Amino acid sequence: MKNNLPNTCILFILFSISLSACNFIGANVEKKLTEHSLTLVRIEKPDSIGEITINNDGTYLKKPDTPFKLPTESSFIHFYNDGVFISFDNNQYSTGKWFYSTADSIITIRGNVKKETLLKLVSIQKDNFKFKILEVNKIKSNDDYLLFYSQSTHFEGQTKDLLSLNENQWRIKPIQKESNEQIKQRVLSQLKYHIDYFNMTKDKKQTYFETKILQSPFNFYQNALGVPHNYELPEEWVETFYSREDAEKAADLLRSTIKNIDGVKTHERFTETYTEIINKMIDRLLI
C-alpha cells in the first residue's frame, strides 16, 4: 500500500504527548486514552496570530499565520489497545503505531514517514482532553495552540468499530495499479462498509447519515441509489483508488451491478432501502 500519511496532517504521523497536570496518571491515562475515539471539538489559537503592528519606520508588519497545518475540527483519532493509532481527518484516513511509557508518561506514534509532532497533554477532565502543540515536523511552537478533544462513540456499533483498520483498508490508496479482481474486492469492501454503517445508524436510532463518513460514490435519492457519470465521480471516492482509470473501472462495475435491480421494498427508513439494494449488488458481484 502507498504511504497513507499525508504530509499536511499533523496527527497522521509520529507524535508524542508529554503528560502533566492531569487527573489521571500512569496506567489510568493509557486506559482513558483507549476507551473510545476522540473527536476534535475546538482549537484555540494565539490572539497574536495575524496581528498587524507598526515598525519604528512606519511600515506595517503582520505576524505570520499558523506556521504548521492544524487538524480539522470534528476530525477523529483513536488509540487502540493493540498499539494501532488511527486518524480520520477531512476524508484522510491514516494509521500508525503508538507506544506508551509509564516512566515518563510519553506517548509516541509512528507512521511510515519521518514526521513528528509533539503535544503536551494539559488535562483530562472526565471525557475531555486538552493538548498543547509543542512542535510539528521540527517546527517549534512559540505560541499556545490548544486542541480540545472529547471522547466519542460515533463510529462504534453493537458489534463493529467502523473506525478500525480492519473496516477501512479500502480507504488506503494503493501504491500500484490494481487488477480487475483487486478493484472488485475494493468495491466489495466499500459496499460492505455502507451496510455496516447503515445498520449502526439503525441500531442507534439515528435519524440521519453522513455521506462524508461513507466517502461514497453514490447519489442518494428517496428509496433509490445512483452512480454518477465518470466526470461527476466524487474526488474523495476516486482517491481511494490508485488512479482515476481504476476508479472509473470501479464505477463501471457499480453501474453494471446496480442496473435492473428489482424487487426492492419501500422502507420507512431510506437507509434500509439502500441496504437492500447494496446487498443485491454484493450478491451479483459474488457470482
What CATH number did the domain enclosing 118 receive? 2.40.128.640
pLDDT over threshold 90, residue 66: no
67 falls in which pLDDT band (50, 70, 90)?
Answer: confident
Same domain, 194 and 229: yes
Same domain, 148 and 236: no
7 falls in which pLDDT band (50, 70, 90)?
Answer: very low
For 47-65, how does the pLDDT look when each residue is reduced to its tens digit (9 = 90+)? 755 555 555 665 555 555 6
Is 157 inside any structural domain?
no
Give the sign of the dihedral formed by CA 174, CA 175, CA 179, CA 180: positive
Is 222 inside any structural domain?
yes
284 contacts: CB under 8 Å, gap ≥ 6: 257
Give the cell for residue 69. 497545518
Determine the structural domain holding residue 43 and report its residue range.
14-152
Kindly report the pTM of this predicted structure.
0.84
Higher pLDDT: 23 or 73? It is 73
Instruction: Please count the structural domains in the chain.
Output: 2
For 11-48, how does the pLDDT look when each residue is reduced to its tens digit (9 = 90+)? 444 445 554 444 455 558 888 999 999 999 999 988 75
Same domain, 214 and 264: yes
Same domain, 201 and 111: no
pLDDT over threshold 50, residue 10: no
Q: Residue-wise over 183-198: b if at least 16 C-beta within 10 A, else e?
A: bbebbbebbebbbbbb
Decide if 96 contacts 12 (C-beta within 8 A). Answer: yes
- What is the C-alpha separation between 246 and 73, in angstroms, rounded? 32
- What is the C-alpha separation between 252 and 230, in angstroms, rounded? 9
Q: DSSP secondary structure string, 207-224? A: S---HHHHT--PEEETTE
- What is the C-alpha separation between 230 and 138, in angstroms, rounded? 41
Arithmetic mean of pLDDT over the chain = 85
Same domain, 271 and 194: yes
